[in-house]
């Protein structure tokens, strides 16, 4: 059967239509490819942004950890300083207020011997006194001084215990009258009244100088 001109034109039309469809499909595929490429680029950008944020977070964590270690070190140093300060007040071996306490004990109470940081051991028992002062002869008395940075209720019991045990450790002072002094940098008015009611002298430290804070007519308790 012979191919007519109409057949040729019909075939050309079909080829043209197929070519257009193929071109449309290529364009659609290219559009999808470009969209996919854009999505990949956006995903990559997000990954990079996420990685940057992770790095920034890690840097902040490292800085926080460094600051924490530095703070811990400062706290340890402060603890050592506070501990050293407490030891200084407690033992009184390096207390800057000792000269004023010596003057007070000598002039006010007539003490002859004043010894800071006295430690005694007997039969496995120990006794520690921040300041021990005594005088023989007509005075014939001894004073036990406990020094605290912040005076608390238990300091009263501690001083009472020292006074009760003192003669066992120092029999050479057995015949002396014993008195107690509680000295502090800081104490409340209520606790001050409590100390006075127990018959103890109260001393305060102002600018590294001891001063007695007792009312007129105060009668100390002799042990």
pLDDT tens digits for range 66-112: 877 877 677 677 555 545 544 544 454 345 568 888 999 999 999 99
Domain shared by 102 and 78, yes or no: no
Domain shared by 81 and 104, yes or no: no
Tally of domains in the chain: 2
Contacts of 68 (CB under 8 A, 6+ apart): none
Q: What are the tens digits of pLDDT across the range 125-154? A: 999 999 999 999 999 999 999 988 889 999
Residue 7 has pLDDT above 80, yes or no: no
End of a domain among 58, 86, 114? Answer: 86
Domain shared by 52 and 144, yes or no: no
CA distance 173 to 144: 12
Most confident of 5-9, 39-43, 83-87, 156-160: 156-160
User: What φ, ψ does residue 93 adopt, rounded to 5°?
Assistant: -70, -30
The number of residues making up the chain comes to 223
Domain shared by 115 and 191, yes or no: yes
Torsion from C-alpha of 184, 189, 194, 197, nearest 10 degrees: 100
Helix/strand/coil percentages in the chain, nearest 5: 55, 25, 20
Residue 8 has pLDDT above 80, yes or no: no
**Domain annotation covers residue 8:** yes
> Which position has the higher pLDDT, 207 or 174?
174
Domain shared by 82 and 134, yes or no: no
**Domain annotation covers residue 200:** yes
CA distance 128 to 121: 9
**Domain annotation covers residue 37:** yes
| Average pLDDT of the residues of the chain | 83
Look at the block and give the residue holding tokens 């004043």.
114
**Domain annotation covers residue 162:** yes
Question: Average pLDDT, stretch 177-189?
Answer: 93
User: Residue 103 belongs to a domain with what CATH number?
Assistant: 3.40.1350.10
By CB neighbour count within 10 A (0-12 exposed, 13-18 middle, 19+ buried), where does 97 fall? buried
End of a domain among 37, 58, 86? Answer: 86
pLDDT computed for residue 1 by the predictor = 57
CA distance 32 to 55: 34
**Domain annotation covers residue 220:** no
Most confident of 5-19, 36-50, 174-188: 174-188
Domain shared by 114 and 189, yes or no: yes
Domain shared by 152 and 73, yes or no: no
Lowest mean pLDDT among 4-13, 113-122, 167-176, 199-208: 4-13
pLDDT computed for residue 30 by the predictor = 74
CA distance 133 to 78: 33
**Domain annotation covers residue 174:** yes
Domain shared by 74 and 135, yes or no: no
**Domain annotation covers residue 92:** no
**Domain annotation covers residue 155:** yes
Domain shared by 121 and 192, yes or no: yes
> Two tokens at 71?
């703070």
DSSP 134-174: EE-TTT-EEEEEEEEEE--HHHHHHHHHHHHHHHHH-GGGT
- Domain extent for 69: 1-86
Domain shared by 71 and 153, yes or no: no
- Give 44's pLDDT tier (boundaries 50, 70, 90): confident
Domain shared by 144 and 201, yes or no: yes
Residue 31 has pLDDT above 90, yes or no: no
Order the strands of the 201-206 sheet from edge to edge.
113-122, 125-135, 141-150, 177-186, 201-206, 209-212
End of a domain among 64, 86, 108? Answer: 86
Most confident of 35-39, 73-77, 165-169: 165-169
Residue 58 has pLDDT above 60, yes or no: yes
Domain shared by 42 and 127, yes or no: no
């Amino acid at each position: 059967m012979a191919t007519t001109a109409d057949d040729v034109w019909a075939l050309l039309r079909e080829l043209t239509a197929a070519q257009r469809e193929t071109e449309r499909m290529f364009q659609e595929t290219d559009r999808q490819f470009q969209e996919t490429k854009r999505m990949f680029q956006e995903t990559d950008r997000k990954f990079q942004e996420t990685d940057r944020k992770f790095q920034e977070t890690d840097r902040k964590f490292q800085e926080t950890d460094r600051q924490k270690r530095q703070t811990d070190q400062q706290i340890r140093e402060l603890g050592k300083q506070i501990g050293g300060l407490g030891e200084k007040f407690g033992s009184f071996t390096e207390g800057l207020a000792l000269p004023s306490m010596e003057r007070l004990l000598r002039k006010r109470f007539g003490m002859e011997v004043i010894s800071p940081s006295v430690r005694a051991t007997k039969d496995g028992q120990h006794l520690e006194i921040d300041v021990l002062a005594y005088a023989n002869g007509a005075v014939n008395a001894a004073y036990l001084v406990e020094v605290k940075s912040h005076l608390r209720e238990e300091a009263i019991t501690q001083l009472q215990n020292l006074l009760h045990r003192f003669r066992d450790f120092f029999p050479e002072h057995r015949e002396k009258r014993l008195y107690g002094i509680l000295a502090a940098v800081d104490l409340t008015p209520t606790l001050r009244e409590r100390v006075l009611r127990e018959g103890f002298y109260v001393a305060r430290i102002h600018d590294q100088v001891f001063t007695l804070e007792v009312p007129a007519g105060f009668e100390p308790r002799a042990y």
